Amino acid sequence: MDESLIELEISKTFSLQKSNSIRLRESTSDYRIKQLENLLDWIKTHLDDIRKAIHADFKKPYSEIDISEIFTVTSEIKYVIKNLNDWMEPKKVSRSLALLGTSSYIQYEPKGTSLIIAPWNYPFNLAIGPLVSALAAGCTAIIKPSEMTPHASALIRRMIEELYEPDTVAVFEGEVEISQYLLSKPFDHIFFTGSPNVGKIIMKAAAENLSSVTLELGGKSPAIIDKDVDLLDAASKVIWGKFVNCGQTCIAPDYVLVHQDIQLPFVNALNDEITKMYNPKNKGIEHSNDYARIVNDKHLVRLNSLLSDAISKGAKVEFGGKINVNENFFEPTILTEVSENMDVLNEEIFGPILPIVNYVDIHEAIRFVNSKPKPLALYVFSNNENSINTILNKTSSGGAVTNDCVIHFLHHELPFGGINNSGIGKAHGHHGFLAFSNEKAVLKQRVGLTSSKSLYPPYGFTGKKI
Ligand code: NAD
């Protein structure tokens, strides 16, 4: 479609949603639950379509699609349906002595119109997960899926068109220009998932309309391996967390900090785990159906230049390094002897390269983490509660997991999100509902009653009561 026609279509849809959002202020939990049930039914009856679309985009293995794209969304919908009545209920707050005679409560009203801008790496989950929160809160939504995963984007559009009227939920596919045009509209809330650099653009655009934002961003999430650790357990969990989705996961361990005394056995254990998971029959990882591809040429080139930069500056390839340009294949790659002047230790890797940095003392590892922007996730592998607590208390990150990685994404009751460079605001479950809700403070005064005449002039207040 011609660009100006799309802009016209966006403006029309935005106006429709603006009007509908006023009606939706009074939507009941039954109405919202019905919308969520319809979404759940559609997903359940189109599992194969969803799998095929995502697989077509970057050969993501079907099992990974089931767990990380479909189950994450269906379990979120079920959890929200179960709890929505309770979340929507106004919450009474205790009486205030200074305001005797009044009663107060918090009312959860929908923010109104929302814009959801999604990335490509979990194209279904990260577009539809926020939609579940928006519908639960009673908001309308326009979704802008990523242009990098066109099959998933088309499927999302088809699903939304089959399920909802455009005054409630609509999809606009396309490149950055579409996103920019959408951002010129005065949405009540913008939920963005993507890179920190684009996050800044989103926040600037939101500032023009004072739209509230949830920014789910990225960064360099560390995995710290203590000297006192179960090596095999840690190695297998780090390998899974790093190479699921071919390393293209916002909460994948970006790099590992390992105690120098155990670096050698740990690297050996990592290498063994890669072979066990992706090459058990020794046919070559390239032939594994359990390993996804890099999303496009641009990212393959970017990752290749990260690797070349590291090697040219002295990094040692302990595993992998093989690339097949025709297939967008990038082998799981482990690097040691990395140093701070290498791009792999400065840029978010977002691909299957795992640099290993060693440390002598846990405080050195903590200083390393604290020298970088606050990460989205931090992982600690240790048998020692003191080491774990020291690291958790002396570092700051959006989330943290001990003796595992990535799985906190699946916990509906944990707020999911980053801090500063890795994000602003939280998602999932009740936290997602709150992100799309205005917590309206309501105070009810009785007619004819004034809590304190001393509030009004002429003032007799002496300050003695402070
Ligand atoms: P991206 O920031 O390049 O793009 C995300 C979305 O923003 C896309 O829909 C894109 O079309 C749009 N966009 C891009 N440039 C824009 C601009 N100038 N103006 C307006 N819109 C624009 O991110 P990506 O490459 O799709 O995803 C990878 C990044 O997302 C990584 O940094 C990763 O860590 C992060 N991420 C974070 C989470 C999370 O939950 N915190 C989840 C997944 C990915």
Residue 249 Cα, ligand 1 centroid: separation in angstroms? 12
Which 3 state secondary structure label does DSSP give 353? strand
∠ CA 315-316-319, rounded to 5°:
130
Which of the following is catalytic: 64, 69, 76, 216? 216
Which 3 state secondary structure label does DSSP give 355? strand
The letter for the amino acid at 367 is R
Residue 119 Cα, ligand 1 centroid: separation in angstroms? 5
Neighbours of 285 (CB within 10 A): 20
Q: What is the pLDDT of residue 465?
A: 62
Q: What's the distance, Cα to Cα, between the start and end of the chain in Å?
A: 65
Inter-CA distances, 129 with 66, 181, 237, Å: 14, 23, 25
Q: What is the pLDDT of residue 228?
A: 98
Helix (H) or strand (E) holding 222: strand 222-225
Pocket test for ligand 1, best of 193, 214, 406 (most atoms within 8 A of CB): 193
Asked whether 144 lines ligand 1 (CB < 6 A), one says yes
Asked whether 119 lines ligand 1 (CB < 6 A), one says yes
Tens of pLDDT along the chain (466 residues)? Answer: 677 899 999 999 999 999 999 999 999 999 999 999 999 999 999 999 999 999 999 999 999 999 999 999 999 999 999 999 999 999 999 988 888 889 999 999 999 999 999 999 999 999 999 999 999 999 999 999 999 999 999 999 999 999 999 999 999 999 999 999 999 999 999 999 999 999 999 999 999 999 999 999 999 999 999 999 999 999 999 999 999 999 999 999 999 999 999 999 999 999 999 999 999 999 999 999 999 999 999 999 999 999 999 999 999 999 999 999 999 999 999 999 999 999 999 999 999 999 999 999 999 999 999 999 999 999 999 999 999 999 999 999 999 999 999 999 999 999 999 999 999 999 999 999 999 999 999 999 999 887 666 778 888 666 666 6
Asked whether 423 lines ligand 1 (CB < 6 A), one says yes
- State the Cα–Cα distance between residues 49 and 117, nearest whole angstrom: 22
Q: What is the pLDDT of residue 464?
A: 62
CB contact at 8 A, 364 and 342? no
Q: What is the pLDDT of residue 3?
A: 76
Which 3 state secondary structure label does DSSP give 166? coil
Residue 177 Cα, ligand 1 centroid: separation in angstroms? 14
Q: What is the pLDDT of residue 99?
A: 86
Q: What is the pLDDT of residue 462?
A: 62
Inter-CA distances, 36 with 29, 43, 118, 124, 140, Å: 10, 11, 19, 16, 13
Asked whether 216 lines ligand 1 (CB < 6 A), one says yes
Q: What is the pLDDT of residue 101?
A: 87
Q: What is the pLDDT of residue 455?
A: 76
Query: Does the active-site annotation cover 173?
Result: no
Residue 196 Cα, ligand 1 centroid: separation in angstroms? 8
Of ligand 1's listed atoms, the one at least distance from the Cα of 218 is 34
